[in-house]
Structure 1
Amino acid sequence: FQWWLSLSTVFYQMFFTSEVVVEFLTSPLEVLAWGSMATFQGAREVLPSLMAFAMLSNLGASITEVAKDALVAEYGLRYRINGLQSYALMASAAGGVLGNLLGGYLLLRTPPKISFLVFAALLSLQLVVSLSSKEESFGLPRITETSSVLKSVKQQLSNFMEAIQADEISQPLIWAVASISMVPLLSGSVFCYQTQVLNLDPSVIGMSKVIGQLMLLGLTVVYDRYLKTLPMRPLIQIVQLLYALSILLDYILLKQINIGVGISNEVFVLCFSSLAEILAQFKILPFAVRLANMCPQGCEGSVTSFLASALCLSQIVSAFLGVGLANLMGVTSSNYSNLSSGILIQSLAALV
């Protein structure tokens, strides 16, 4: 679902539209979704409506995410700012820290209705700020004549197809997508185990997300300062190995090995639960920087959008593989005995 929605954003760059237009189209969807869940009790308590509004919110978020990556690529190359993606990820991580802290506080202190209202208000503020920004401030060219627009679309599509067929672009892109889609995602099953079997407080899991975002922020700073000049292949190999090993932290939790060495479940989850997720996000950064720098002039945003769209697809495939693996291993809400074997398979898939 996200794949088709995100892929449409490739044409955003072909038409040379700006982030203002994207926010105008997508923020109302998220405001409508979260505002409805805050206003109508049935919307947040009846499963079909809850799923529908969550999907509506995801529609806006997925398009905005891909458009953001494209805009960063275009802006960085236009003003010759090498590695602007690193700073964008730093800002995203910092926002994740603040967002998780705010969300955790609201969940502890207020009913869900207030949380939804606050989220809808923040999205409305984002929309207002975007609409008040001038399109000229982005420095992107504008095309007004219909014939020129159609000609530009054909030219952009031709350049885009030529760019992704080049080995130096297609091979890293294929590897990045395959490295995610081939790894079954079992984070949902692990979360259920943490809450239903270990009876961990949701605030502990929420704080682990905050610590994870802080780790991501630190990793991004280190990459920008010291690692971006390193050859890409050995860097990615090291990160992928660390990612595969970090998955085994869930195995340690499932087998309660941490208890044997004197580390409580709360402390272990707080410090290590989000490590694999953060490494999975971080390993995409070198690819984004490389593709943005190697793209032919004029199609940087299109290729970056395509990368983000392909990553959305790979995450969906990974999630479906995780569900299938959990069912195959017989993992249910009352039986997690085989989940540890699934974690080992997940780690092995990451190594492959």
Structure 2
Amino acid sequence: MKPSSETKLESMTKTCNDTKMKNNNNKKETTGKQRKMLLGLGFWIQGFRCFPWTAVIFFLKDGLRVDPSTMQILQNSANLPMVAKPFYGLMSDSFYFFGQHRIPYIAFGAMLQAISWFAIASLPSSTISFFTITMYLLVGNLGASVVEVANDALVAECGKQPNNSSDLASFTWVAGSIGGVLGNLLGGVSIDRFSPRAMFLFFGILLVVQFFITISVSEKSLDLPKNTSTHGIRSQLSDLLTVLRKPKIYQPILWFAASFAIIPALTGTMFYYQTQHLKIESSVLGISKVFGQVAMLLWGVVYNQRLKSVPPRKLISIIQGTMAVLMVSDALFVSGFYRTMGIPDSMYIVLISGFLEVLYFFKILPFSILMAKLCPPGCEGSLMAFVMSSIALAFIVSGYLGVALASYVEVTDNNFSGFQKGLLIQAVCTVLPLFWSSYIPEAPKIEKEKKKE
């Protein structure tokens, strides 16, 4: 038998280890809750941005009476601040405020958005113009892009920890989708009951709430991985350029951006076709967007549970091909094919158009997880920001190409005779990126390369 003193020592050691383990588990649980609260709110607000934008679109159409091409130019031009995301990422990676380099940027971006929407809501009727609204929307999107960069960097940093990347990415995807569902649902209902100013004001108040919740969170409580790189902006820029020279980094980014940019967007024309030509009510369009956001929500859940092991090249290529098929379906819809089969226009718009509108974004989830795995430590913010800015620029190019295509097929707000031809051209352009999908690396290859490094 062991002496009683030795037995007591072993008992005390075990108790001490159990206490430490319990404290560590409690700390991890608290850290996880803090992360999910901050990121969940951030991505929820990001998804809910469709609420005020619903009011913007109808205000441009009915209030300022702009044509489809002008509306599409504004929608895409307002996204120009998104193109500068690498700069915001470099700032976030390099400059710390009170020992923090993510929280301050989220708070600043939220407040900048709030100021923008409050300003639009308070504009006197005599001064409202296409130019003034465009300027304020640019400021609002500047704030939104800063928030998105910081949030994406947080997801990438937290994703460096074992078994956390896909789960956290899927969580934020679901949070954004829920925000989109509520935003579109409330937007479709509110547009007929409240003025656009009231909707802008309500969203501004939400952003103020986000600001105060964000500044109440300490970045230390998030237990982020320690950054061993230097924080100078020149060093961060040098690191980013070094990373971007790697084929496994720049090739998938190049393909992904091109897969969006090459497709001429006809969203403005479709909106006018549905509201002006078919006389579809705004509530139906709202339900269509809600259906699309529900599909986004389900996509996040299904991907996390069933599809995260599928090679990214295969999954993204399938999504790209499905987009082309649905665009051909849209051409049939415009020709009246489904109407002759007894399918109401409103049903097609809710189910197919709503799904196609969000299908563009399905590719982003597996691609962002892929890039987070490839991203070296220390430049998460700048690299993920570069990826997102590439996507933003691609969408802008897509929008401008759509304006050019609408002009080529001679579509106006009253004449849609060439719309079907435009949709078929759009479908052909969507198929083209599939011919060089080899730029997207397969998962086994990634793991192999990472082991070599």
Q: Same fold (TM over 0.5)?
A: yes
The aligned amino acid for 1:25 is F
Matching of residue 348 in structure 1 with residue 428 in structure 2: yes
Question: Which residue of the partner structure matches residue 393 of structure 2?
Answer: 313
1:220 to 300, 305, 308: 300
- Going from structure 1 to structure 2, the CA distance change for 1:55 and 1:13 (only over 3 Å counts) comes to closer
Other-structure match for 1:139: 223
- Superposition deviation, residue 53 in structure 1: 1.7
Determine the structure 2 residue equivalent to 1:290: 370
Structure 2: distance between partners of 1:9 and 1:138: 21
Deviation at 1:150, TM superposition (A): 6.8
Aligned residues: 348
Distance 1:247 1:64 in 2: 33
Comparing 164-173 and 22-31, the one that deviates more:
22-31
1:70/1:300 contact within 8 Å kept: yes
RMSD: 2.2
The Cα of 1:255 is off from its aligned counterpart by: 0.9
1:234 to partner: Cα distance: 1.7
Structure 1 segment 112-191 matched on structure 2, within 5 A: 112-140=196-224, 152-191=232-271
**1:4 to partner: Cα distance:** 4.1
Describe the superposition over 1:136-166 as per-residue Cα deviations: whole angstroms up to 9, x where unpaired: 22334789xxxx9976434333332222221
Query: Aligned partners of 2:311, 2:161: CA distance in 1, in Å?
Result: 25
Q: Structure 1: how far apart are the matches of 2:354 and 2:127?
A: 27
Larger radius of gyration between Structure 1 and Structure 2? 2
TM-score (normalizing by structure 2): 0.72
Alignment pair present for 1:21 and 2:100: no
Q: Secondary structure at the match of 1:8?
A: helix
- The answer to which of 105-114 and 37-46 deviates more is 37-46
Decide whether the 8 Å contact of 1:184 with 1:322 is kept in 2: yes
The correspondence for 2:195, drawn from 107, 111, 120, is: 111
2:418 matches 1:338 = yes
Distance 2:82 2:142 in 1: 10
> How has the CA–CA distance of structure 1 residues 137 and 104 changed in structure 2, closer, same or farther, with 3 Å as cutoff?
farther
The TM-score with structure 1 as length reference comes to 0.92
Q: 1:214: Cα distance to partner?
A: 0.4
- The SS at the match of 2:192 is helix
Q: Write the distance in 1 (CA, Å) between the matches of 2:248 and 2:120.
A: 46
> What is aligned with 2:346?
266
How far 1:222 moved relative to its partner?
Answer: 1.1
Q: How far off its partner does 1:67 sit?
A: 2.5
Q: Is the 8 A contact 1:66 1:309 kept in 2?
A: no
Report the AA paired with residue 187 of structure 1.
T
Q: From the superposition, tell whether residues 271 and 44 of structure 1 become closer, same or farther in structure 2 (CA, over 3 Å).
A: farther
Give the corresponding residue for 1:90.
174
In the TM superposition, residue 94 of structure 1 has moved relative to its aligned partner by: 1.0
2:148 is the alignment partner of 1:65: yes
C-alpha spacing 1:70/1:56, structure 2 compared with 1 (3 Å): same
Q: 1:226 to 1:141 in 2, by over 3 A?
A: closer
Cα-to-partner distance string for 1:216-262 (whole Å, 9 max, x where unaligned): 11112111111111122222221110111122232122111121111
CA deviations over 1:3-54 (Å, ceiling 9, x no partner): 4432322213422653321133222222122112222333884322222222
Q: Does 1:250 align with 2:320?
A: no
Aligned-partner residue type, residue 65 of structure 1: E
Kindly provide the CA deviation profile for residues 54-85 of structure 1, in whole angstroms up to 9, marking residues without a partner as x. 22212212222232212211122146513132
On the 8 A contact 1:38/1:44 being kept in 2, the answer is: no
Classify 1:172/1:154 alpha carbon distance in 2 versus 1 (closer, same or farther; 3 Å): same
- Out of 330, 335, 356, the position equivalent to 1:276 is 356
Moved more, 3-12 or 299-308: 3-12
In structure 2, what residue type is equivalent to 1:122?
L
Equivalent residue runs for 1:198-213 within 5 Å: 198-213=278-293
8 Å CA contact retained: 1:44, 1:50: no
Q: After superposition, where does 1:46-65 map in structure 2 within 5 Å?
A: 46-65=129-148
Task: Check whether the contact 1:19–1:130 (CA below 8 A) recurs between aligned residues.
Answer: no
1:34 and 1:263 map into 2 onto residues whose CA distance is 40
The worse-fitting range, judged by mean Cα deviation, of 109-118 and 153-162 is 153-162
Aligned partner (choices 103, 116, 122) of residue 39 of structure 1: 122
CA distance in 2, matches of 1:184, 1:242: 16
Aligned pair 1:2/2:81, yes or no?
A: yes
Question: CA, structure 1 residues 265+172, in 2 after alignment: closer, same or farther (shift >3 Å)?
Answer: same
Unaligned runs of 5+ in 2: 1-79, 433-453
